[in-house]
Amino acid sequence: MRRLAAAVAGATVLASALLTAPPAAAYPPTPPDESTARANLAQLTVAPDGSMDGYDREKFPHWSPQDGNCNTRETVLVRDGSDVVVDNACEPTSGSWYSVYDGVWVGDDSDVHIDHVVPLAEAWRTGARDWSESRREAFANDLGSQQLIAVSGSSNTSKGDKAPEDWKPENTGYWCMYARSWINVKHTYDLTVSDAEVTALEEMLDAC
């Protein structure tokens, strides 16, 4: 009887661990390491944020068609989720998603947001207002960098269009990855950074 109780207890601990540990796939592509991130940050142009005049999310066409019946949002849901099953329209019918921003699991895809790590509005005021629409569309649907990630709706709403000087992930264990991701996206697209933004990014890199 004691052996059975021990086995049950062990299974309970294992089940708990499985429910709290993020799956290996719950991340976009891995960004450059800390030293590269610091070097890339130093190469970015430091300038005050530009005007939001003329900004509209529709100037960044997003959730474009991807493979098969999937659009960008659905592709990220499948990529970042655990045991995701989709229907013929690529809409998830089951699965769960680990939100690295706040360290919680989400079991309903309607409660999952696909975050633009560098928000569209932030991109606009740091250089994207001068881009062509096709470049803005590529930015808004970029699956090859760290620009898109599935997170809880509550964490994404909290973030809004804020830069790191005004918002950091509640999960401090993700600060290193977040800073590296943010820097790589800005470096890839040659977007500017403010002095306060650089300070906040360096603070998060210190967590690496």
Which pLDDT tens digits describe the chain residue by residue (208 residues)? 333 333 333 333 333 333 334 444 456 899 999 999 999 999 999 999 999 999 999 999 999 999 889 999 999 999 999 999 999 999 999 999 999 999 999 999 999 999 999 999 999 999 999 999 999 999 999 999 999 999 999 999 999 999 999 999 999 999 999 999 999 999 999 999 999 999 999 999 999 9
Q: What is the dihedral of CA 47, 29, 26, 86, to 10 degrees?
A: 110
CA angle, corner 31, sides to 182 and 46, nearest 5?
Answer: 35
Residue indicated by tokens 């996206």: 185
Q: What is the pTM of this model?
A: 0.87
Q: What is the largest CA-CA distance in the chain?
A: 72
